[in-house]
Structure 1
């Protein structure tokens, strides 16, 4: 009798234990997102436009999500190393990417060694965009787009333009000018903006393509001549600078630098929705918009279908890469 009573007590205790075990993990699984720090990967070294955008975004997301947002700079391979880390991360919303043109849409087109694809990410939203600008050295002797095109058509192959590297959006912008304008100039890749600027100021190269924020101080000082910005319309940041598309020969030219927030593929819908809400609130923040304006970037004023946007941008780059036969 005592044995039977003891065994019954054991079964009751065991049942309670099983019930607690079953409810414990379930409670943990339904804990609201987020409940721990988020890592925001920036696939470039500190100080560049992507890094500045990521840091400004990180502050806003932390405020809205209620957890720390830690910036991890993971540069290398044109942004591919940082992007690959996010593609490989667990789809739980705790590892995100502030991505730009190269690592998101261009790298795979020019480098077969890049292992990730668009399907390896969950796009959350467009953060901001910034035009590029085509500039001339004072020694080139041109002051506007018309004079630039006339000079190149009269002297095919004589002139060169520089960018910050093969396959960058700056390189593709230069090739787009050649494609749309029916002109030819030799591309000279530089290891960054600093040596390109030095050669332009010294008259060692004729033309260059820059991110607007990098060239603006030299344009305003009169050391470089701005021929035009590269987006379809003039930038609200520099309404005094014409867009290259204002020239009839370049009317369809539209290319710039943009930044998107992305997570790994198969991000849960609830997590994606939470991040989308936080990003949309950030884009409406006057403080955030002011920070972006200080870097010559423009924040979207209305909703952007990020999937359609990325598909259109990738198709555009594919066309330019094929035209210029760009490979790494």
Structure 2
């Protein structure tokens, strides 16, 4: 049978409709998240970054109704994990829970680092600040910042300070003390804080910057003396310990570490907004804030500009790396 002209027109129209259907009739994408989220932490379990990272995981679990799988991948002060996330698909299913080390500091000293935190990651939000404390061993004859500065200026090169590693936030924090006050103190890098704190308490190193949580027991038994905190103001739990910037020789001092989370570059804005909303909701929860405080951190408000913080601290660290000639 030969089709009529009307039938031929109908067939052509139907074929055309089928040809263009995929352009407008694609099935709707499932709402995010539609599968488990992988949260990568660049440090071993049990440390401060891991503790805060697991708080972030719980926030996402609750406020996104998501399954969150935490994966610890330690190496190079968080750089190995960060590089893994940078190289992942920007779909919101691979995220980084990190610190100011790999999200700002290490770029200034690690020549092998391939990624730029300010360009190759999508910042989600700041979770907490990580205050540190400048302490002296019990064997050092100082009781306050005034005596510390006077002693070291009188004895350049005689005293030492420990840090948990080259390019770590405590390392930079101590170098800023040296730069502002014009001091010469020998740096002794360690592989982490545990051995450093032991040596400090035993008199094998003279000063260090460590977290108040780690310093607490040693302050109570008299093996360490607190001289100042690295935040711009005093800490609520250590009101008798001055901020370093209170001393005229250290005016303007402020260099705290921090914890945050990020995604690969190119994350869709709607997923970024959803993750940020979940973080804000979590940080408004008193139970979450209490958990962060118990780990020695200061909970963020949830509205901080993480992208600006990364850029600002990268500049600070680059300046200090040049001053101290730090290269890893």
TM-score by length of 1: 0.92
Pairwise CA distance, 1:36: 0.9
1:198 counterpart residue number? 198
Pairwise CA distance, 1:326: 0.2
Pairwise CA distance, 1:237: 3.6
Counterpart contact for 1:38–1:67, Cα < 8 Å: yes
- Partners of 2:202 and 2:217 lie apart in 1 by 16
2:68 counterpart residue number? 69
- Partners of 2:79 and 2:25 lie apart in 1 by 36
1:41 counterpart residue number? 40
- Any residues of structure 2 matched to 1:97-112 within 5 Å, and which? 97-112=96-111
Is 1:147 matched up with 2:147? yes
Q: Quick one: structure 1 residues 323 and 25, their matched pair in 2 at CA, closer, same or farther if it must change by over 3 Å?
A: farther
Q: SS where residue 234 of structure 2 aligns? A: coil
1:270 counterpart residue number? 270
CA offsets 1:88-144 (integer angstroms, 9 cap, x no match): 110100111112111111111112211111211000111100111111111111111
- Any residues of structure 2 matched to 1:241-260 within 5 Å, and which? 241-260=241-260
Instruction: State the aligned residue count.
Output: 322
2:178 counterpart residue number? 178
- Partners of 1:78 and 1:25 lie apart in 2 by 47
Pairwise CA distance, 1:302: 6.2
CA offsets 1:26-65 (integer angstroms, 9 cap, x no match): 325x211111110111111111110000001111111100
- Any residues of structure 2 matched to 1:275-314 within 5 Å, and which? 275-301=275-301, 303-314=303-314
- Any residues of structure 2 matched to 1:27-176 within 5 Å, and which? 27-28=27-28, 30-117=29-116, 118-176=118-176
Pairwise CA distance, 1:2: 11
Q: SS where residue 77 of structure 2 aligns? A: helix
Pairwise CA distance, 1:18: 5.8
Pairwise CA distance, 1:272: 0.6
- Partners of 2:190 and 2:61 lie apart in 1 by 36
Counterpart contact for 1:170–1:211, Cα < 8 Å: no
**RMSD (Å), alpha carbons:** 2.4
Counterpart contact for 1:161–1:188, Cα < 8 Å: yes
Counterpart contact for 2:131–2:211, Cα < 8 Å: yes
CA offsets 1:195-242 (integer angstroms, 9 cap, x no match): 112211211111111122222221233221111111111123432322
Counterpart contact for 1:134–1:228, Cα < 8 Å: yes
Counterpart contact for 1:133–1:212, Cα < 8 Å: yes
Counterpart contact for 2:105–2:313, Cα < 8 Å: no
